[in-house]
Chains A and B, each alone.
Chain A
């Protein structure tokens, strides 16, 4: 095998040999190699198959724009990852990679048959083909499409790697460590700004760091030597943080950016363990300098996708950075001067090189140098075809006509195993547009450039359309100076000597003798979109680039069209006769390069998936076998199964005990708001629907809070602790929102009110004891308190102490039973609970969870906001007219209660439902209908709460039903999957309508 490693460089340590496997075969590379450079050094070009036609594909670039060389890393393990660019992964000992989208192997792929039937499967064929027959869709088309879809294999095992997030703030963020980024970072840091420089490679310097060419000198030094010294100086600056192996994924508004840092991907397997693999940096920067560079464009001609056809600048980098040649018989095929650098580099290494240039002639310095060296140049010529199935072996060249629209003359066939193509450069404006920036179009070289309007970010270097070395240095210096308000910098007098491009010629789709329909001129290499597809889309009436993109899938692959978008635009422009600048671009959405799910979620996995809140009694609940329910972020005891009880059995036991003797509930999670101020009662009048002014000190009152639209928002009991002092309770899930809403009203709508709110939800633990024996238990706990019904009435409270610790006892009930709630400082909560359990032993006190609480309140017809309401229920809909004051001047939502829609009598209203079969339990959420045979079936409402009540020995349910108030006694149907359940509309209070138990 020929040796493709021809040169020693500063960036690959050829003393450090590394073994790796590709498609099961062991190869060797060196430290500093990427998987791509290592493969090329071993003569491997064929690395995968294309998505649609399964055509053989090889390494085409050396960066993140790579469309072909995407591999499955560590196949078959829990560390496997699909779609990793071979051009971006650094080689490490033990790396295993395999090619994707081929079976049985990359050399012989059954899917390759698609290439032969390609005339039958043009762009959009599936939109038309899979329309009929209808019966084929589920069993044939869908499984087939699903099987064909996607590239690579997703991991099926949990990811063992660790990921992390971190926030960082800076004055200046510089994106890109090429020459313009280096200059910008140096100016910024030296001006005293706290600066961060980010680059996705492991080495700074971009393409200039290996630009070893006499034609490019800075201050009389070869450009790479000058830049090397600059980087060394840069590293010494104290207020500069350099982050290599870090790529910016997203640029959001207000200079908020996300960048992914690879921390262990380049390490050998042994060194990776227990370290964080990737960290997502969340960066907030005052100002941002984008120096993300430009991407070289390919050229579009027949069979331009064969392995061995590589971007010219990449061939140059593989040679000068990695020391690897991509072929022995090289041709450069170009429309611009930059590719001549590649030709010179290859020539200087003694590698055979010829040039095909679509321009008629040019006399720039570098071209003259090439001509002087005797390198053959085919002027005004194009490649019309390429040959070689798994690897390029020859090309066909023809002359271009005067206007470039056709080919003329004889075909020349030449031996060629590496065709270095260059169609000019596309500035990487992705970051600029992600930040909200607009673009201008420069006609002379047909590029979109950042249109800078604000002073918070700028683009410099080639991403700003500066492609010549002298322009890059001069303009970067000027723009950074202006951004930072500096008078001068050290780069003012930098002297640059470089070649200048004099002539340009661009042809988006190169002509051919063969008709376009019979060619394969690829635009999007990853998604197999061709020039023919674009023209088809136009013929079918698509004009907008966004529509053409979706019809042809151009730019929709994992590379997001980094190489293809401009050609698609160019061909649309030429075909439709529209100026390219007016077409605009597709939207550049984040992420710029794919992010792993691990990097996105960071450490919020496993036990840290979501945050949880615990009451001070939580430990007791765990010890007593509680099953928990998530309510908001709280972990609330759901039920306490004994021995082999299931949930139903536990809930039946708990609710029976609460009704027959005593039950105990941890109610600490209810929101609590301390309200103070001379206008506190007026404030409550405005917040709740009922009246509060006359509530006596020591009394409690239930209140319903509405939204501005008159719909029920929250509810709870508020207690008057003093003249101007109240304690409001809210629902568990609504606590934070209620406090925010009330504070918002105080600050914006009612600033005249003297009211102060303080959240005390976590300050108090609340123990609720209910049942006919609850009073006896309370007497045992608080012997000095008079629990006589006349003295301690329902909806009142008393201050007391237990073991000299202050607490409040409230006689309020959410179960319909005689019930007390004890509020105590949270640190004593668990101890108080245990005392209550101890005191209640003689009465079989039974802890119950939220499920039993729901059942008990449903028996009594008490609503739960959020379960029996859904943001569309007024108090009148809930049959709670009694709580809406007719006398009050105003309260939140009052006006809306009198809108024509809210006073309609046929609105959905809360009712009770009883099943004909008392053992039948309805499903919550089930629809309610009156006539199932009349199509379409009219939905009258749905079941909101449903339980089997052991106390009533029958099934009960609450439901919202259209015009429900007037339907009492009517029979309705609840259709289920296998049967229809007959129900009767009833009163929503099923138990103790007279409140005898409550006042017992």
Chain B
């Protein structure tokens, strides 16, 4: 039996702020341009990929985040990666309609919620959250304390922050330290 080890991220609560590790999640990087690609993704996940920059679309199971005109991340709760990924891979990658890559372990998801969520993010992200925070389903690719992150505004004052696994613990320590000063 192989044990699972996630970066050390404990649940923490501060005034108007709650931080926690939001794993396990399946994350799939999908890339493609043509009509078949969109059709296949729609058929397998029942989701229409967002084409407006920095937005997301969701259904009961899947969240799809726009990353670039031909790149998205689909993420959802779960452990068994094989079924959905294999489906997508066989229907898209193998047929040369696009590229499907499992990145479940590449990114770590940290959930930040509370009234001071965006105060925290503004401490070290140059991104303008003024309009971002007003509506949900927005996506930002920015840096937080010099670390690349993807921010998904899931609900009002409730974001999923994706950070590369290797940076996760370092960023987590910084987030904790920052939260003290809000």
Contact = CB atoms under 8 A, between A and B. Distances in A.
A831 B104 CA distance: 17
Contacts of A276: 181
Interface string A144-171: 0000000000000000001011111100
Interface stretch (B40-48, B49-57, B125-133, B150-158): B125-133
A760 B2 contact: no
B84 interface: no
Interface string A760-802: 1111100000000000000000000000000000000000001
A327 interface: no
B104 A762 contact: no
A825 B147 contact: no
B177 A754 contact: no
Contacts of A284: 126, 128
Contacts of B128: 169, 284
Given A614-B166, A764-B105, A825-B105, A758 B1 contact: no
Interface-central residue, A167, A194, A619, by most chain B CB under 10 Å? A167
Interface in B105-140: 105-107, 122-130
For A613, A633, A634, A828, which residue has the most chain B Cβ atoms within 10 angstroms?
Answer: A613
Given A758-B29, A760-B103, A827-B105, A607 B173 contact: yes
Interface stretch (A83-91, A673-681, A916-924): A673-681
A201 interface: no
A74 B128 CA distance: 39
Contacts of B35: none
A560 interface: no
A722 B145 CA distance: 38
Contacts of A167: 122-127
A959 B170 CA distance: 38
Interface in B1-54: 1-7, 29, 31-32
B5 A827 contact: yes
B174 A613 contact: no
B87 interface: no
A832 interface: yes
A732 B173 CA distance: 24
A762 B5 contact: no
B105 A612 contact: no
A835 B98 CA distance: 36
A831 B5 contact: yes
Contacts of A377: none
Q: Which of B122, B146, B170 is packed against the most chain A CB atoms within 10 Å?
A: B170
B141 interface: no
A697 interface: no
A194 to B, nearest CB: 7
Given A167-B126, A194-B130, A616 B145 contact: no
Contacts of B2: 802-803, 805, 824, 828, 831-832, 835
A677 B174 contact: no
Contact of A165 (B94, B102, B124, B130): B124
Interface residues of B, number: 49
Interface in A155-211: 162, 164-169, 194
Nearest to B82: A806
Contacts, number: 126
Chain A interface residue count: which class? 35 or more
Given A616-B165, A760-B101, A830-B3, A611 B29 contact: no
A168 B122 contact: yes
Contacts of A634: 166
A608 B123 contact: no
Contacts of A803: 1-2
A923 to B, nearest CB: 33
A759 interface: yes
Interface string A722-758: 1011000000000000000000000000000010101
B169 interface: yes
Nearest to B147: A611
Contact of A611 (B4, B32, B101, B167): B167
Nearest to A754: B96
Interface in A569-603: 603
A927 interface: no
Contacts of A764: 105
A553 interface: no
A505 interface: no
Nearest to A828: B2
B164 to A, nearest CB: 5
Interface in A666-720: 669, 674, 676-678
A485 B169 CA distance: 49
A756 B67 CA distance: 14
Contacts of B98: 676, 756
A760 B106 contact: yes
A612 B71 CA distance: 27
A761 B173 contact: no
Interface in A277-327: 282, 284
Interface of B: 1-7, 29, 31-32, 70-71, 93-94, 96, 98-107, 122-130, 145-147, 164-167, 169-171, 173-174, 177-178, 181
22 contacts: A164-B123, A166-B122, A167-B125, A284-B128, A603-B174, A611-B145, A613-B170, A614-B166, A616-B165, A674-B99, A676-B98, A678-B96, A724-B93, A758-B29, A758-B99, A759-B106, A760-B103, A761-B106, A824-B2, A825-B104, A826-B105, A835-B2
3 closest A-B pairs by CB:
A756-B99, A676-B99, A613-B166
